[in-house]
Amino acid sequence: NAGVMQNPRHLVRRRGQEARLRCSPVKGHSHVYWYRQLPEEGLKFMVYLQKENIIDESGMPKERFSAEFPKEGPSILRIQQVVRGDSAAYFCASSREGGRSYEQYFGPGTRLTVT
């Protein structure tokens, strides 16, 4: 029973490049959440998606960041024109249904370093 998978685990980008982070939820889960963790800080919610729909993107910066969860394939968090401040660990979580919050399973994270 595979858990949440994220790739790549480590990503290095130069300033101005694009970063694409992928998240494959637990099989059968249709809800995906993205969080960002800056060094020495707690996780901060970014966006909540269901298949083909963005439900809540209140935590996501208005510019350069976008997320999708297509009908087929993994969820993608895309950061355009990365800056040094985007360096962080990005965690994806999934749940089977939105009403059961405690069933949120987290992936191992993608560590983005912007040079």
Partner 1 sequence: DAKTTQPPSMDCAEGRAANLPCNHSTISGNEYVYWYRQIHSQGPQYIIHGLKNNETNEMASLIITEDRKSSTLILPHATLRDTAVYYCIVRADLNTGNQFYFGTGTSLTVIP
1 binds partner 1 (CB under 8 A): no
Identify whether 74 is preceded by a cis peptide bond (ω within 30 of 0).
no
Task: Provide the token pair at 2.
Answer: 């595979």
95 binds partner 1 (CB under 8 A): yes
* Residue in 29, 76, 106, 113 binding partner 1, rule: CB under 8 A: 106
Least distance in angstroms from the C-beta of 26 to partner 1: 12
Give the residue with the Cβ less far from partner 1, 15 or 51: 51
5 with 107: CB under 8 angstroms?
yes
What residues numbered 12-31 form the site for partner 1, per CB under 8 A? 31
What residues numbered 35-54 form the site for partner 1, per CB under 8 A? 35, 41-45, 48
Pairwise CA distance, residues 78 & 97, whole Å: 24
* Residue in 21, 93, 112, 114 binding partner 1, rule: CB under 8 A: 93
26-to-23, 55, 62, 93, 110 alpha-carbon distances in Å: 10, 19, 28, 9, 17
* Residue in 65, 75, 109, 114 binding partner 1, rule: CB under 8 A: 109
64 with 15: CB under 8 angstroms?
no
